[in-house]
Chain A
Amino acid sequence: MSSTENVLSPEYKEAVTNLLFQLADDDFLISFRGSEWLGLAPHIEEDVASSSISQDTMGHAAMYYTLLEELSIGKADDLAHLRPASERKNSILAERVNGEGYYMETPQYDWAYAVVRNFFYAQAKKVKIDSLRQSSYQPLAETAVKVNMELYYHLLHWKTWFVQLLSSTDEAKQKMTAAMELVMKDFGDVFSYGNEKAAIEGNQLIASEEELKARWTANMTPIFESLEMAVPAIPEASEKNGRNGEHTEELDGALATLSEVYKLDPVAVW
């Protein structure tokens, strides 16, 4: 990819790099959270099915980190494991814990939160990927075509859970409603490009924040209508914007765990 790199203006490269970090960190953190669920899902068959989605998603993160490596930003594994929280560009939603407690002990994970977070996230990812297929940065457009293939299953899987739980017991409906509130509180930076908005949109790397939000709402509308519910409104902004490196302590916890072994010796072969 060095030829691509040579023809990029510094300003364009900066915008591409930023967007790639947002995409990579989002998929990496949410799949890390998915991996903490492994072995603990409510039903054995579901444990197997949802782990495939976590693997697909971490695979997508690896593709984005590799694009960054090809831009000479750093080694993919270093980018995934060594960057401090202040340099991470994932949305707050992706870094949130699965529930109370550390996964090594007896955590109290919330399946309603998992279903809502993953469904809303998958829908947002779908909207972004559809737009990225027309990205001005060709390697990213090509990656988007590949990622798109696996999103059909992710969406069907989480939509099925979302609709079924909301069509079942009162207890389930309560838990799902509470989970939706939690998820939407963090939804303000999901479609944000942070301080890079002008550069990312101006260089036609992806559609505008406003356009993507409108498409997300449009895609969600028939599903919510079938449940006789209104699509929750995406907040204008959030308290913290992950795209600008603003994060919660929950991200610190995640980074400490995911890099624990790698940091023992980052130059060793593992």
Chain B
Amino acid sequence: MSNLTMMTEEEKLEQFVQRIEAGDKIEADDWMPEEYRMALIKLISMHGISEIMGALPEKEWVPKAPSLHRKLGIMAKVQDEMGHGQLLLRVAEDLLKPYGKNRGDLMQDLFNGDLKFHNVFHMDTRTWGDAGLIGWLVDGAAIITQTNMLGASYGPYARALQRICAEEVFHAQHGEAIIMALAEGTEEQRAMVQDALNRWWDALLMFFGPASKDTTGSSKQDVTIKYKIRTKTNEQLRQAFFDKYVPRILSLGLKLPDPTMHYDEENKVWVYQQPDWAEFKKIIKNQGPRSQERLNLRRTSYENNAWVRDALAATVS
């Protein structure tokens, strides 16, 4: 059966599964089952829009950053977040073509509440310590989840992640530099980091999602693993995050906000207190501490600039 146009849907699916099993990469114009396309669209448009929304909390500290060097560093870092949004939205936009949807529609989905963004970007940033903590631990968590998908079966996503993860190395060091300066600084500066860590801890645990769908009623981890978009489960990723970051947190003289947390040598797992998953559900429904303000900012700036996009449409050639 060499003539693709003559193949039945079942045969196409069978060939598709074989390609994925063989480690082949699927490209934008290739045939793919609807379930795969939908899973990718959901995952990548949420990832992309989270970068665009994620620029906002850190951006709050860009004009305030406490030296020329820090101002430049955090500007470059937030610029990268917008850049990651650009890469990911391009990937999502190509997947959306069969539905006649484009970037403008994704923005509308965000404003309508149909397209969600990551729980961490709904949170308050109260001090410069938060700016450092986001760079260090939120980006650390993001690095864990993103590197887990570097081998994704969807080629365009894997290539975007390759570029993103290369830049995340800079982000990790940018965050470490801020945190280390504070941790080695005055008493007030040290208190600033500890306070930020205390306030961000639950959000960091939630970042990886619930361990199973029993917790929150739904989880997209099963379908993404089935199609080799990622390999590890939410809980495995959370444990990997603890492995990398808990020793570093402690080495800087910071205290874990969860006093019960410990490593179970026998089972080789971190034992920790679950965050409030009901709160998580609320947050990602845009009912978090800063959800509405950030959406409002994104919406206002998008609408204020509508005339620019109209003007550009008149220059199409």
- Hey, which bits of chain A sit against chain B, CB under 8 A? 32, 35-36, 38-45, 47-48, 51-52, 54-55, 58-59, 61-62, 65, 76-77, 80-81, 103-109, 111, 164-165, 167-169, 171-172, 175, 257-258, 260-262, 264-265, 268-270
List 8 additional contacts besides A39-B52, A62-B72, A104-B60; criterion CB under 8 Å.
A45-B86, A58-B71, A62-B68, A106-B300, A171-B311, A261-B66, A265-B188, A265-B189
Whether A168 pairs with B311 at a CB distance below 8 angstroms is yes
Secondary structure type dominating chain A contacts: helix
The answer to whether the Cβ of B249 comes within 8 Å of any Cβ in the partner chain is no
Instruction: State in angstroms the CA–CA spacing of A42 and B310 once bound together.
Output: 11
Closest beta carbon of chain B to A75's beta carbon, Å: 10
Which of the listed residues A55, A65, A109, A270 has the most CB atoms from chain B within 10 Å of its own CB? A270
- Over the window 28-70 of chain B, the binary record of Cβ atoms lying under 8 Å from chain A Cβ atoms (1 yes, 0 no) is 0000000000000000000000001001100111111111111
- Hey, which bits of chain B sit against chain A, CB under 8 A? 52, 55-56, 59-72, 75-76, 78-79, 82-83, 85-86, 89, 103, 128, 178, 181-182, 184-186, 188-189, 293, 296-297, 300-301, 304-305, 307-312, 314-315
* 8 Å CB contact of B307 from A105, A106, A169, A260: A169
Whether A172 pairs with B188 at a CB distance below 8 angstroms is no
Instruction: State in angstroms the CA–CA spacing of A40 and B296 once bound together.
Output: 12
Between A and B, 10 residue pairs with Cβ closer than 8 Å are A41-B305, A45-B86, A51-B75, A103-B63, A106-B297, A109-B304, A168-B315, A169-B314, A172-B310, A172-B314
Query: Cβ of A172: which chain B residues have Cβ within 8 Å of it?
Result: 307-308, 310-311, 314
* 8 Å CB contact of A43 from B62, B68, B182, B308: B308
Query: Cβ of A111: which chain B residues have Cβ within 8 Å of it?
Result: 305, 308
Which of the listed residues B66, B69, B128 has the most CB atoms from chain A within 10 Å of its own CB? B66
Whether B75 pairs with A38 at a CB distance below 8 angstroms is yes
Closest beta carbon of chain A to B254's beta carbon, Å: 18
Whether A44 pairs with B66 at a CB distance below 8 angstroms is no
Query: Cβ of A81: which chain B residues have Cβ within 8 Å of it?
Result: 66-67
Instruction: State in angstroms the CA–CA spacing of A141 and B197 once bound together.
Output: 47
* 8 Å CB contact of A58 from B66, B68, B185: B68
Tell me whether A260 and B188 are in contact in the complex, defined as CB-CB below 8 angstroms, given that A48-B82, A165-B308, A171-B310 are known contacts: no
Query: Cβ of A61: which chain B residues have Cβ within 8 Å of it?
Result: 68
Closest beta carbon of chain A to B268's beta carbon, Å: 39
Whether A264 pairs with B68 at a CB distance below 8 angstroms is no
Whether B188 pairs with A258 at a CB distance below 8 angstroms is no
Whether A270 pairs with B70 at a CB distance below 8 angstroms is yes
Instruction: State in angstroms the CA–CA spacing of A65 and B103 once bound together.
Output: 42
